């Protein structure tokens, strides 16, 4: 079935390769017989120019202009989601305005940017020693040397009753130094570690100071850090951290909660959620920091598990299982 099929004038706007265009024309002209789940059609499926008939399970095509409109509608929806998050940054703008106007706050500079690692660490250590809690998130591997330096200090603070909450990337579960650090600190009863496949800002939050560093750079690099002391900004950062915390997975789940979930299952679940939100393959790979090959392998396994031939059928089957 071909829905108002037209020429491929919109192909350039959709960034179709020559191979994609050739496959599209051959399916359109019914000059090629491909199984619906053929991996070569994945890009065309993402753009909506090829689909599978629900009843006949045969391939169908949509016009490229129609697919282009749908593609831009998805992009607009993604922009709207980003705009919603940007609107939440109003407290930051207010604090920066106060700082620019030279207004004093009760805690010194509301926001400042530091680049010297020694100065940044001094502020962090001082704030941690005067705080009842420390919430942190990591975006990359922590070095064994850095963990070794941290463990003595952190165990002493935990012994004094300071509460820790740490979010790590899911990949940290495969690294022994970070696993041992998380296990030792969690064993005190005053620390909890969780992991997430999603990208988030690297930060350390205490009662008096918040430190946010460049999301693109891992620990130990010479990236600048934003030092935040303004109470409104700190409250906003705590709220952002809390949202990430609620969606993250306990590193050491309570045995009473059932069997632990494997790392692969965590990533597969995130892929399903992101697909249901309309994300493309490239967007999912970027957000979960996985390769396209990993994405293809995982989605193929998911389609087989849910007895689906396409991602559209996968979403339908997954949605039915999630219904109460």
Which residues, including other chains, have CB under 8 Å from residue 309's CB and lie 6 or more apart?
A: 36, 37, 52, 57, 303
Provide long-range contacts, Cβ within 8 A and 24+ apart, for 85-90: 88/236, 88/240
Which residues, including other chains, have CB under 8 Å from residue 142's CB and lie 6 or more apart?
A: 172, 177, 178, 181, 219
Task: Map tokens 């603070």 to a residue.
Answer: 157
Q: Within 256-291, where are the H helices?
A: 263-276, 281-288
Rounded to two decimals, the pTM is 0.56
Task: Count the helix, strand and coil residues of the chain and give each as a percent rounded to the nearest 5.
Answer: 50, 15, 35
CA-CA-CA-CA dihedral for 47, 53, 57, 63, to nearest 10: -40
Give the pairing of strands 191-196 and 163-169.
parallel
In this prediction, residue 205 carries a pLDDT of 95
Residues in the chain: 324
Question: Which neighbouring-strand residues pair with 203?
Answer: 137, 212
Indicate left, alpha or beta for 136 from its phi (over 0: left) and psi (-120 to 50: alpha): beta
The one-digit pLDDT tens for each residue of the chain (324 residues) are 444 444 444 444 566 777 877 887 887 777 677 776 777 777 777 777 777 766 666 777 777 776 677 767 776 776 766 566 555 555 555 555 555 454 444 445 688 888 788 888 889 889 998 999 999 998 777 888 888 888 999 999 999 999 999 998 877 887 888 999 999 999 999 999 998 877 677 889 999 999 987 544 444 445 678 899 988 888 888 988 998 898 888 888 755 555 556 778 878 888 898 888 888 888 888 777 778 888 889 999 999 999 888 888 898 888 887 655
Hey, how many other C-beta atoms are within 10 angstroms of the C-beta on 32? 13
Q: Estimate to the nearest angstrom the gap between the alpha carbon of 72 and the chain centroid.
A: 22
């Amino acid at each position: 079935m071909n829905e108002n099929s037209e020429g491929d004038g919109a192909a350039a706007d959709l960034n179709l390769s020559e191979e994609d265009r050739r496959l599209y024309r051959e399916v359109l002209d019914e000059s090629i017989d491909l199984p619906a789940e053929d991996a070569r059609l994945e890009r065309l499926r993402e753009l909506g120019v090829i689909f599978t008939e629900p009843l006949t399970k045969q391939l169908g095509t949509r016009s490229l202009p129609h697919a282009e409109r749908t593609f831009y509608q998805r992009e607009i929806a993604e922009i709207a989601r980003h705009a919603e998050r940007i609107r939440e940054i109003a407290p930051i703008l207010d604090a920066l305005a106060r700082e620019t106007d030279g207004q004093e706050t009760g805690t010194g500079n509301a926001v400042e940017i530091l680049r010297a690692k020694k100065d940044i660490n001094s502020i962090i250590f001082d704030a941690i020693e005067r705080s009842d809690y420390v919430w942190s998130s990591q975006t990359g591997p922590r070095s064994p040397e850095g963990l070794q330096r941290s463990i003595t200090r952190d165990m002493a603070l935990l012994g004094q009753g300071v509460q820790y909450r740490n979010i790590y990337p899911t990949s940290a579960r495969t690294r022994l130094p970070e696993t041992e650090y998380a296990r030792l600190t969690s064993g005190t009863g005053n620390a909890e570690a969780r992991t997430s496949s999603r990208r988030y800002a690297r930060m350390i939050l205490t009662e008096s100071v918040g430190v946010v560093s460049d999301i693109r750079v891992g620990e130990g690099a010479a990236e600048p850090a934003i030092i935040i002391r303004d109470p409104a900004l700190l409250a906003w950062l705590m709220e952002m951290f809390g949202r990430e915390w609620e969606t993250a997975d306990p590193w050491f789940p309570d045995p009473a909660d059932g069997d632990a979930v494997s790392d692969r299952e965590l990533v597969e679940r995130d892929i399903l959620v992101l697909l249901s939100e309309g994300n493309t393959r490239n967007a999912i790979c970027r957000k979960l920091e996985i390769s396209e090959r990993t994405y293809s392998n995982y989605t193929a396994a998911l389609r087989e598990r849910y007895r689906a031939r396409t991602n559209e059928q996968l979403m339908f089957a997954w949605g039915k299982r999630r219904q109460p």
